Structure formats: C-alpha cells, structure tokens
Amino acid sequence: MRHIKKIILLTVSVIFFSACSSLMLSPAEFGWPIESVLKIDDKGFVKDDRYSLSFNTKAMFFEETQDSMAYLGKSLRMIRSSEGFYFMTAANFKNVYVFATDKSSFSLVKKLQINETGLKNPVLNQRPPFVELIDEGVSYKLTSEGFEGGKK
C-alpha cells in the first residue's frame, strides 16, 4: 500500500511539473533579410506593411536631437537582427538604437554611439551574428550588447 502511494505521488508530481514548464520553439530565426527605410508621416509615425508594423518615432528623435519636431521630413532605417532585436537609426543621428519588443511597444535595450558628427547616409545589413552599419564607406558590426569585437 505504501508503495502505491509513492507511485501515485510521483505520477501527480510529474504531471504537475510538466504542466508548469513553458513551451519553447527553438531554434528560431527572426532576422529581416534587408533593412526597411520608412518615411515618417507628419504625426511622427512610420508604417511597414510588409511586416505589419507601425509605431511613433517622436520619442526617439527627441532623445537623439532634443527637438520635438526633428522627425519632420525624415526617414527611419530599421532592421531586425536574427535574435529579434530592432536596430534603428536615421541620417544625422549619432547613435543606433537597439530595441526589444514589449507589450504593444518597443523598449530601449542599448544606444550605440557611432560618432560625434552624425551619420551621413546610413545603411543596415543583416550579417549574422551581427547587424552591419555602413556609412560613408566605414563599416560597424553591431550586436544587441554593443560592437562586435569591442568599440568600432
């Protein structure tokens, strides 16, 4: 009888703990093959129909420029890394912003300072395991944690 109780307790424990484990689908590839260049509308929003994505850019432009209207007439360059992080920048930005998704929002993970003068014509490329930024013939290897191999 004691042996049966132990078996029942063990069986119930296995069922309980297996129900508590989270489902994971792995490996997964999140990267976009090419960057999206998104025109910012007069309200600060960008929209990418290909990825069913839209969001407001005002806070990022204000963070970068301290100008609440800096987004007007601009385009945003954005790519998603193979790990699922979003890399965003624009012409004249000094930084590349790395975001993760949160509940109906983007959450800043890292701000990567590229230079003090601002990017002229930035281009983002997928180069797993990093994202490549090219500007004026200079290439930077970016990750969600910083620069591949250290600072530039």
Whether residue 65 lies inside any domain: the answer is: yes
pLDDT tens column, 42-54 = 999 999 999 999 9
Closest CA to 74 of 96, 86, 98, 90: 90
Q: What is the pLDDT of residue 152?
A: 54
Q: What is the pLDDT of residue 90?
A: 98
Whether residue 152 lies inside any domain: the answer is: no
Whether residue 11 lies inside any domain: the answer is: no
Whether residue 83 lies inside any domain: the answer is: yes
Report how far residue 54's alpha carbon sits from residue 22's, in angstroms, rounded to the nearest whole number.
29
- Per-residue tokens: 42: 């007069």
Report the amino acid identity of residue 63: E
Report how far residue 81's alpha carbon sits from residue 84's, in angstroms, rounded to the nearest whole number.
5
Whether residue 98 lies inside any domain: the answer is: yes
Do residues 113 and 104 touch, judged by C-beta distance below 8 A? no
Q: What is the pLDDT of residue 67?
A: 96
Q: Which residue has the higher pLDDT, 79 or 3?
A: 79
Report how far residue 132's alpha carbon sits from residue 45's, in angstroms, rounded to the nearest whole number.
25
How many domains does the structure of the chain reveal? Answer: 1
pLDDT tens column, 102-122 = 999 999 999 999 999 999 999
Q: Going along the chain, which residue ranges are E strands?
A: 36-39, 45-48, 53-56, 75-80, 86-89, 95-102, 105-113, 123-127, 130-135, 138-143, 146-147
Q: Which residues contact 82 (CB under 8 A, 6 or more apart)?
A: 29, 30, 31, 126, 128, 129
Whether residue 37 lies inside any domain: the answer is: yes
DSSP-derived letter for residue 59 is H
What range defines the domain where residue 77 resides? 29-147
Name the band, by pLDDT with cuts 50, 70 and 90, for residue 148: confident
Whether residue 119 lies inside any domain: the answer is: yes
Whether residue 142 lies inside any domain: the answer is: yes
Report the amino acid identity of residue 9: L
Evaluate if residue 77 carries a pLDDT over 80.
yes
Q: What is the pLDDT of residue 22?
A: 86
